[in-house]
Amino acid sequence: MTVNDTAPVRTGPLAGVKVVEIVGIGPGPFAAMLLADLGADVIRVDRPGGNALQLVAPQHDVLARGRRSVALDLKSPKGVEVLLELVEQADILIEGFRPGVAERLGFGPDVALARNAALVYGRMTGWGQDGPLAQTAGHDVNYISIAGALDPMGRRAEPAFPQNLLGDFGGGSLYLVTGVLAALTHARTTGEGQVVDAAIVDGAAHLMSMAVSMQQGGIWDGRRGTNLLGGAAPFYDVYATSDGRHVSVGPLEPQFYADFAERLGVELPSRDDLSQWRELRAVLTARFAEKTQAEWAEIFDGSDACVAPVLPLTEAYEHPHNVARGTYVDHEGLVQPAPAPRFSATPATLTIPPAAVGTHTRDALTDWGVSDVDALLAEGVAVQRED
């Protein structure tokens, strides 16, 4: 991969915002990707040796898109000083270390804010900066467990883990982005930066607001599989088709249910009588098993019946709705989700494809005004990937 000689043109609503990302795993990179998608100039500060938990080859790592990679040795005083030079120009810094690690390395919030009083210092952790578990290891599945978000998911027998969408990316990345942008608004108004403590356990709990409302209001007892939206209602569920695939069914509103029942073409027990829900589920199970997924998709296509085929990812790329909206795009030979959400005046565009560690060290440091870049490279404080 060749080194970019100039910074990419940014078009999104965050164009002009400068972000330093100290690379971690999962939610931190996703948050930085989102900021870059929306136009921010994000420098990705990588370890010279790369990330030990890199799951895919660099050129396939969609989470690394949109920003330039600078390889810095942050265990050396000179490397930390380079980082702080970047901080002086940044609007936002993102890090995902355990509490106290950034302080020990010499670039904690006190040091960073002393160099840039308007800096937004975003901290991404699972447990948060304090509390009994703050210094312990964990992962997505653990955080959503403690937040009360995992137990209600799935059928009655056992919880069903929703990949790492709910914890890492929903309760983590999206809350970090919300927090740093809110703090950035404050900083630009007042000149005063601050620390944003984004904890996955907090975000996952916050996402449970509707479930908490249902539980506190007495309409859900908290047990798995008994929530209207969690598998209890036969008209809000997933059913197998004759070819071993599935369709999702969700006509909650009466008018949508009427359309659903008409297109289904079979007499249904009353959905308003809970004593008939077992029979209703049996009828729906048998009926959907009579046709293939494609046949049911055609029957319900364009209707308000709230029925959709459950697609594997490779087929989601090609679904006509996703194709029409450009929901997935092929950029630089890599199929990936397009930036979201969409903006009428400042549309987001994809820029830099995922790059190996240190691909842009020289150019990015030079663009950000770091002094003596060649000397830093010669000393090994910074590393430029040349291939």
- Select the CATH number that applies to the domain covering 18-207+329-383 from these four: 3.90.660.10, 3.40.50.460, 3.40.50.10540, 3.40.50.2300: 3.40.50.10540
Rounded distance between C-alpha atoms, residue 196 and residue 266, angstroms: 55
Q: Which residues pair with 194 in a beta bridge?
A: 120
| 155's tokens | 């059928």
Residues of the chain where predicted confidence (pLDDT) is lower than 70: 1-6, 52-54
Write out pLDDT tens, residues 89-142: 999 999 999 999 999 999 999 999 999 999 999 999 999 999 999 999 999 999
Residue among 360, 357, 21 at smallest CA distance from 177? 21
Q: Does residue 312 have a cis peptide bond before it, meaning omega lies within 30 degrees of 0?
A: no
- Select the CATH number that applies to the domain covering 224-240+246-309 from these four: 3.30.1540.10, 3.65.10.10, 3.40.1260.10, 3.10.129.10: 3.30.1540.10
pLDDT for residue 328: 97
Rounded distance between C-alpha atoms, residue 377 and residue 77, angstroms: 15
Told to judge if 259 belongs to the known catalytic residues of this protein, a careful annotator would answer no
Write out pLDDT tens, residues 281-290: 999 999 999 9
pLDDT for residue 3: 41
Per-residue CA distances from 54 to 43, 229, 356, 359 (Å) = 18, 36, 11, 16
Q: Which residues pair with 94 in a beta bridge?
A: 21, 122
pLDDT for residue 159: 84
Catalytic residue among 73, 140, 168, 363: 168
Domain ranges of the chain: 18-207+329-383, 224-240+246-309
Q: Which residues pair with 86 in a beta bridge?
A: none
H or E stretch including 123?
A: strand 120-125
Told to judge if 60 belongs to the known catalytic residues of this protein, a careful annotator would answer no
For CA atoms 76, 82, 88, 91, give the dihedral sign: negative
Q: Which positions ≥6 away from 359 have C-beta within 8 Å?
A: 1, 3, 68, 69, 385
Question: Going along 287-327, which residue ranges are E strands?
Answer: 307-309
pLDDT for residue 4: 45
Rounded distance between C-alpha atoms, residue 32 and residue 44, angstroms: 8
Q: Does residue 159 have a cis peptide bond before it, meaning omega lies within 30 degrees of 0?
A: no
pLDDT for residue 208: 95
> What is the β-pairing status of strands 328-331 and 334-337?
antiparallel
Catalytic residue among 139, 186, 206, 319: 139
